[in-house]
Structure 1
């Protein structure tokens, strides 16, 4: 199983990515992932890092479909594979319903249909095919101009079983966020396998994004985990997923929810050894890659602290190889 890192903030300059990219460049992590940024756009930020010498594997976890046509998504992802000389994972997600509505004027009546259409177009364009699809939400007629680059893999963000089954049919990588190891093993991985079996293809790899809080003087792990997760646990689709996993989300008691995330192993806290044991639990649950998110540390204690935590944990992981 590989261990990667997430850029723990929305950047306001390309240079901010470089110390995090350096962890990957030195071989302590497999890939640098970014989430959706509404400051500097993530593909633009990653291209800047590549131009500054970060010729490393990268991925998006996830970029939001309503922001761009699937042709543009495929083109940007392939461009980053060309610029870095490394495989790229183009992770996609729909985004919260109010966000979708604000961009499109209406939400997706069927998010599964919207994702199926969008992901099919991106997948087929990246495979060099001529696409002729007119769907309920997305349409494409044509192809990318041929270009030889490292492979671009299609990723889909998955929270619940039906989307996981769709990812099993279409995606190379299923990306989870805030999914407990038990939920991964009992719900997500079996759903991915069912979807893959329907179309007679291998199950997608599983990439689990995991919030971490490394021991430090005065550090309150519940505060760190809450800072990293509070926006997501307020979203109905994340709250529903967590309840399915047996974690009650109480909007009147956010610290209690953070404690439950820690107690369930969803967040990895403690010393480096504790965090490595949490990573191992995700591996046992079926994760092929764990992405370490120091978002909470970044939010509370700043960039130096988040970099220190990521360097400490990834160096400890390397020493065990």
Structure 2
């Protein structure tokens, strides 16, 4: 059965901005609070701060960017969140765009799939308490986390295209997607994950988490059409080469060079779940039908255009309806 979670739809500058969304997870059927990579307040510290304020909820980091932290620190930070909250966590990682890699590291990863394989494998083994010795070619270190009883931390890999999906099928506990249409998940990503798992001889598949941008088109939101919301929440993604490549594979018109055409295609393929409440629920059910294990409701656009209270209202309405008996 598919579960539903909540993405923190803003980049907090003060901890109290995140508190209502943690409360939403505690008091509704949402199973986890997620945050992607943030460059203002670090996500691990936000989750630890929420726990200190009394909001100890399961968390997901999806995805944090590999160039920012060495695998030992990544494992230590993820386990620290689980210890602070007393709840299981998902630590998702991704290599980021080539330009970001170059800015942080001085040069982009020559072979990002190989780096991701080593990175995720190292973090998983560290969290399992093993002594890890990596001697290259991409990572070189020796270390072991101090032993301590802690809630489970699953290791995820951000996935957009088939090659990374196959790798996730081999080495990850969780597959994490963003802005991926349900049809593309069904036809491309999930078969590639299964192929990777079979190649690795795994007895079970990784869980699949889909970050789905969503927002209600309702009275009082002038001009809040689906395409405008899709663009407001994902403009940067719709211009990034790796996202454009994925969307093109998924049937979105990315050849015109107009971001408005990309936004239209995102809506038409179901990658953005918008409209009135019945339309949103229908779009979300499509992810259930293709076999997604956890849908993360991303109301970033609503928060950006109309404020946190409207974002909370949308999330509450969707969660109330999606978790009601059918």
Fold shared by both chains (TM-score > 0.5): yes
CA gap of 1:234–1:251, structure 2 versus 1, over 3 A, is farther
Write the distance in 1 (CA, Å) between the matches of 2:225 and 2:40. Answer: 29
User: Which residue is 1:91 aligned to?
Assistant: 92
Question: Are the counterparts in 2 of residues 13 and 45 from structure 1 also a CA contact under 8 Å?
Answer: no
Question: Are the counterparts in 2 of residues 121 and 140 from structure 1 also a CA contact under 8 Å?
Answer: no
What's the secondary structure of 1:197's corresponding residue? Answer: helix
Write the distance in 1 (CA, Å) between the matches of 2:251 and 2:213. Answer: 18
What's the secondary structure of 2:235's corresponding residue? Answer: helix
Q: Deviations over 1:16-58 (max 9, x none)?
A: 1110011110132111000100000110111101111111110
TM-score by length of 1: 0.97
Q: What's the CA shift for 1:250?
A: 4.7
Write the distance in 2 (CA, Å) between the matches of 1:135 and 1:283. Answer: 40
Q: Is 2:284 the counterpart of 1:284?
A: no
Write the distance in 1 (CA, Å) between the matches of 2:242 and 2:128. Answer: 32
Q: Is 2:217 the counterpart of 1:215?
A: yes
Q: What's the CA shift for 1:251?
A: 6.0
Aligned alpha-carbon RMSD (Å):
1.2
Q: Deviations over 1:201-257 (max 9, x none)?
A: 111110000000212222222111101111001000000011111111256432222
Summarize the alignment of residues 1-321 of structure 1 with structure 2, pairs less than 5 Å apart. 1-201=2-202, 202-217=204-219, 218=222, 219-250=224-255, 252-320=257-325
CA gap of 1:157–1:142, structure 2 versus 1, over 3 A, is same
CA gap of 1:171–1:296, structure 2 versus 1, over 3 A, is same
Moved over 6 A (4+): none
How many residue pairs match? The answer is 321
TM-score by length of 2: 0.96
Question: Are the counterparts in 1 of residues 170 and 200 from structure 2 also a CA contact under 8 Å?
Answer: yes
Write the distance in 2 (CA, Å) between the matches of 1:176 and 1:318. Answer: 22
Consecutive unaligned residues in structure 2, runs of 5 or more: none
CA gap of 1:209–1:61, structure 2 versus 1, over 3 A, is same
Write the distance in 1 (CA, Å) between the matches of 2:148 and 2:28. Answer: 28
CA gap of 1:8–1:250, structure 2 versus 1, over 3 A, is farther
Write the distance in 1 (CA, Å) between the matches of 2:317 and 2:137. Answer: 48
Question: Are the counterparts in 1 of residues 126 and 144 from structure 2 also a CA contact under 8 Å?
Answer: yes
